């Protein structure tokens, strides 16, 4: 079906005119968007939705319709590309087709349910009761069958995002790091990283003010409050150990940056 056909079907309930999609807002361009810190709905930005669908017409039409509704939309046409985007960018929700060129979307649904709190809405032409049940049992927050109306889909998206735990401020993604502040766990590219208590406390302090410089004095006060440290190189030792666990090249860190003479900053 052409883009015009998809728009006629999806936009009909509103009867609204939609401006043409700008070149720099195309699904392909959005899929390469610069990652932003934290959860989309948690930092005042528009909720970010990843549409995993191999039919360009649907992705294009959803990008137009959902953008009008106040969402930011990314597109991925394969499971492989979807996994890449989810590693690079923090998304608030995934709209997931089942039948994809490189496998079943239900495999990704299962993975996300097991490893993250990112909610998934399955959007599929498969409408049999067993298909819906399987999708929900594998962790989907909702199941929408094609064809559908944009009004209904938007209502379901907003309903899922309002659910407790749909977006969790305690979970932060920094580059390839997935940090659960409440659970005090860290994963790097999906692999758990074991940190000591003070290593995690240092990381948490930097996460809370990500992108800002935290002075050495603030780090020392937070981590060793009430303890007289005659040798402040203890802090440097913890930073060194943290880098060794979190960076590809600790000598040229991408995340844990030293601001010489001042302190440290977490980037990503």
Supply the DSSP string of 115-180, one letter for each residue. Answer: H----EEEEES--SHHHHHHHHHTT-SEEEESS--HHHHHHHHHHHHHSTTSS-TTEEEETTEEEE
Of residues 42 and 50, the one with the higher pLDDT is 50
The whole-number average pLDDT for the span 94-116 is: 88
Integer angstrom CA distances of residue 242 from 95, 96, 195? 35, 36, 8
Residue ending a domain, choose from 135, 162, 189: 162
Same domain flag for 7 and 110: yes
Q: What are phi and psi of 6, to 5 degrees?
A: -65, -45
Same domain flag for 46 and 148: yes
Peptide bond connecting 267 to the previous residue in cis, omega within 30 degrees of 0? no
Which CATH number fits the domain that encloses residue 94?
3.40.50.2300
What mean pLDDT value characterizes the chain? Answer: 78
Helix (H) or strand (E) holding 245: helix 233-246
pLDDT of residue 230 exceeding 60, the answer is no
Residue ending a domain, choose from 162, 182, 208: 162
Same domain flag for 257 and 143: no
Same domain flag for 27 and 144: yes
Q: What is the pLDDT of residue 165?
A: 53
pLDDT band of residue 164 (cuts 50, 70, 90) is low
Q: How far apart are CA 50 and CA 63, in angstroms?
A: 10
Residue among 62, 74, 77, 78 nearest 153 (CA):
62
Same domain flag for 113 and 239: no
Q: What is the pLDDT of residue 229?
A: 59
Domain that holds residue 100: 3-162
25: DSSP letter: G
pLDDT band of residue 265 (cuts 50, 70, 90) is very high
Weakest-pLDDT range from 7-11, 114-118, 124-128: 7-11
pLDDT of residue 96 exceeding 50, the answer is yes
Query: What's the helix, strand, coil split of the chain in %, to 5?
Result: 40, 20, 40
Same domain flag for 127 and 235: no
Q: What is the pLDDT of residue 11?
A: 43
pLDDT of residue 227 exceeding 90, the answer is no
Residue ending a domain, choose from 162, 179, 194: 162
pLDDT band of residue 53 (cuts 50, 70, 90) is very high
Instruction: Look at the pTM and tell me if it is higher than 0.75.
Output: no
The whole-number average pLDDT for the span 78-101 is: 92
Q: How far apart are CA 267 and CA 36, in angstroms?
A: 11
The whole-number average pLDDT for the span 75-85 is: 93
pLDDT of residue 195 exceeding 70, the answer is yes
Q: What is the pLDDT of residue 127?
A: 78
Q: How far apart are CA 267 and CA 246, in angstroms?
A: 12
Instruction: Count up the domains in the chain and report the number.
Output: 2
Which CATH number fits the domain that encloses residue 186?
1.10.10.10
pLDDT band of residue 32 (cuts 50, 70, 90) is very low
Same domain flag for 202 and 127: no
The whole-number average pLDDT for the span 241-251 is: 94
Same domain flag for 151 and 128: yes
Same domain flag for 141 and 177: no
Same domain flag for 98 and 23: yes
> What does the CA dihedral 24, 27, 29, 30 come to, rounded to 10 degrees?
100
Same domain flag for 36 and 144: yes
The whole-number average pLDDT for the span 253-266 is: 91
pLDDT of residue 66 exceeding 60, the answer is yes
pLDDT exceeding 70 applies to what percent of the chain?
Answer: 78
Same domain flag for 231 and 123: no
The whole-number average pLDDT for the span 198-215 is: 86
260: DSSP letter: T
């Amino acid at each position: 079906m052409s883009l015009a056909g998809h728009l006629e079907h999806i936009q009909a309930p509103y009867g609204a005119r939609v401006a043409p999609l700008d070149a720099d807002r195309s699904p392909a361009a959005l899929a390469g968007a610069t990652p932003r810190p934290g959860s989309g709905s948690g930092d005042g930005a528009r909720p970010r939705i990843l549409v995993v669908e191999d039919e360009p017409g649907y992705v294009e039409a959803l990008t137009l319709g959902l953008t009008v509704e106040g969402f930011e939309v990314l597109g991925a046409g394969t499971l492989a590309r979807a996994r890449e985007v989810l590693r690079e960018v923090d998304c608030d929700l995934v709209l997931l087709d089942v039948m994809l060129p490189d496998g079943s979307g239900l495999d990704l649904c299962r993975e996300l349910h097991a490893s993250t709190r990112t909610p998934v809405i399955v959007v599929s032409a498969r409408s049999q009761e067993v298909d819906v049940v399987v999708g929900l049992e594998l962790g989907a927050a909702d199941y929408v069958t094609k064809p559908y109306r944009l009004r209904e889909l938007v209502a379901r998206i907003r309903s899922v995002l309002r659910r407790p735990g749909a977006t969790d401020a305690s979970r932060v993604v920094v580059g390839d790091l997935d940090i659960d502040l409440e659970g005090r766990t860290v994963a790097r590219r999906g692999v758990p990283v074991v940190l000591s208590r003070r290593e995690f406390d240092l990381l948490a302090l930097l996460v809370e003010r990500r992108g800002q410089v935290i002075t050495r004095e603030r780090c020392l006060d937070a981590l060793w409050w009430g303890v007289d440290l005659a040798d402040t190189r203890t802090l440097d030792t913890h930073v060194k150990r943290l880098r060794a666990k979190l960076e590809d090249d600790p000598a040229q860190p991408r995340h844990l940056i030293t601001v010489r003479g001042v302190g440290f900053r977490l980037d990503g």
